[in-house]
Amino acid sequence: MGGKLSITIFLLVCLVWKAQAAVNCTATGVGRFADPADTTCKNYSLCALDSNTNTILTYNYSCPTTSVFNPTTRVCTTNYVCPTNGSTTNTTTTAVCTTDGFVADPSSTDCTTYIQCVNIGGTFSQTTLTCPSGTFYNPTTTFCEVSYTCPTTQTISCTSVGRIANTTDTTCQGYVLCVAATNGTLLQYSYTCPTTSLFNPNTRVCTTNYTCPN
C-alpha cells in the first residue's frame, strides 16, 4: 500500500512540474531549451517525445553545482558566462537573426547588449540581453568580455537599410548591418557568419552554398 501511495505522489509531482514548464515544447520540438525567465542560467527544460501517445512531454531541470546551461550547446557547463543582468524582451525593431546563437545588438552603441536568436518553428525569437557590468559583447567570440574594445567606426559606408557584404573581408564571412536611427541617420554594425558559412551579397544571408570569389 505504501509503495502505491509513493508512486501516486511521485506522478502527481511530475504532473505539477510539467504544468509549470517555462518552455513551450510543442513549439520548440524535442531537445533541451533554456528557461527564458531564469536570470541565473541554471534552469532548462527537456522536451521528450512519448512514442506511445506521440506527444511531447516537458521536464524541468536545474544544472548541478556551479555549472550553468549554455543555450547554444544546450548542455550544463562551467565555461559559459551567464548574462546575469539580462532582460527578457523578445521584441527588437530590426530582424537580425539568421541562425541560432548570439549576435550583437544593432541598437546598442556601447556594446553592452546583445541578442539571443532561437529558431522556433521556422521563426526566430530575438531576446535582448545585457552584459554584466564592466564587460562588453564581442561579436567574434559571442561572449561578454572585460578586455573587448567597442568599435566606434566602421570601414563600410551604409547607403540604405539592410545587410551588405564587408568588401574588405577576403574570407567572405564578414558583413555589415545597416539600421535606421530615430534621427534619420544610418547606423552600421559588423558581423561575422558562423562556422563554415559565408555571406552571400545577392541573398544577403549567411549560407554554406555560396562560393567566395576570393
Query: Phi/psi of residue 191, each to 5°?
Result: -135, 165
End position of a domain, from candidates 82, 104, 131: 82
For residues 145-166, give the mean pLDDT. Answer: 77
Residue 202 lies inside a defined structural domain of this protein:
yes
- Residue 27 belongs to what domain range? 10-82
Residue 2 lies inside a defined structural domain of this protein:
no
User: Which pLDDT value is given to residue 152?
Assistant: 54
- For residues 47 and 57, the answer to whether their CB atoms sit within 8 Å is yes
Question: And the C-alpha cell for 154?
Answer: 566602421
> Are 190 and 128 found together in one domain?
no
End position of a domain, from candidates 116, 150, 184: 150
- The single-letter DSSP state of residue 12 is H
State yes or no: pLDDT of 16 exceeds 60: no
> How far from each other are the two terminal CA atoms of the chain, in whole angstroms?
75
Reported as a pLDDT band with limits 50, 70 and 90, residue 181 is confident
Q: Which of 9-18, 20-29, 100-109, 143-152 has the lowest mean pLDDT?
A: 9-18
Mean pLDDT, the chain, integer: 76
> Are 74 and 15 found together in one domain?
yes
Task: Tell me how crowded residue 113 is: count the other CB atoms within 10 A of its CB.
Answer: 23
Alpha helix segments (H runs only) across the chain = 2-19, 25-28
pTM value?
0.35
Task: Tell me how crowded residue 137 is: count the other CB atoms within 10 A of its CB.
Answer: 26
- For residues 33 and 75, the answer to whether their CB atoms sit within 8 Å is no
Total domain count, the chain: 3
State yes or no: pLDDT of 1 exceeds 80: no
> Are 77 and 50 found together in one domain?
yes
